[in-house]
Structure formats: C-alpha cells, structure tokens
Amino acid sequence: EIVLTQSPGTLSLSPGERVSLSCRASQSVTSGYLAWYQQKPGLAPRLLIYGASSRATGIPDRFSGSGSGTDFTLTISRLEPEDFAVYYCQQYHSSPWTFGQGTKVEVK
C-alpha cells in the first residue's frame, strides 16, 4: 500500500498569500496518477488537480500541481477567502487507492 504523507498538518495564512502544500509517497506513484482535492466542512471533496498537474474543469488557474515520482506539490498562487479548507492528495493507480491525512489551510 502506498502511504501518502502530507505536510504541514495545518497552515495559518492570510488572504493574498502564496501557499505550497506537500504530498510525499512511500513508493513512486505510477505515471503521475496523483490528485488533489479540496474539502470544506460538511461538504464532499472537490477535485482540483489530476494527473499531478492538470486542473479539473472549472478550477481557477491560481491552483497548480507539480511533481513526479514520490514528491508532489499543490500551489495556490494567491489565497482567496474561499480557499480556506482542508486539502487531500490521493494516488489512484496502485491498489488500494490511498489518500493523505490532509492539510488544513486556516485563516491567520
């Protein structure tokens, strides 16, 4: 099983700031089958990035994904008020599909 470790656990930031979230895999994620989701309280996760760097439909271009192998990053270029949420990475090539434990981006 591929274990995904996200860091940091919590980030306290202000609107307008740039943020980079890390996701490290215990084994190489085949062909970049790595996704990022945003989740707000009481709601379902929302797909932001798939294939490590492709934005999902309707996702603003302030969200970008990068990385390969075992190290992946989600970057938000300028935090908007609606971006404060929990972010999860997921690998979806090797069974079982696994999720990271999440990074919470909170208002400073």
User: What residues line the site for other proteins (CB under 8 A)?
Assistant: 31-33, 35, 37, 43-47, 50-51, 54, 56-57, 88, 90, 92, 95-102
CB of 15 to other proteins, least distance (A): 26
CA angle 69, 96, 44 (to 5 degrees): 95
Asked if residues 49 and 35 have their Cβ atoms less than 8 Å apart, the reply is: yes
Of 4 and 79, nearer to other proteins (C-beta) is 4
- Of the candidates 103, 59, 87, 80, which has an alpha carbon nearest to the alpha carbon of residue 16? 80
Of 17 and 104, nearer to other proteins (C-beta) is 104
What is the Cα gyration radius of the chain?
Answer: 13
CB of 62 to other proteins, least distance (A): 19
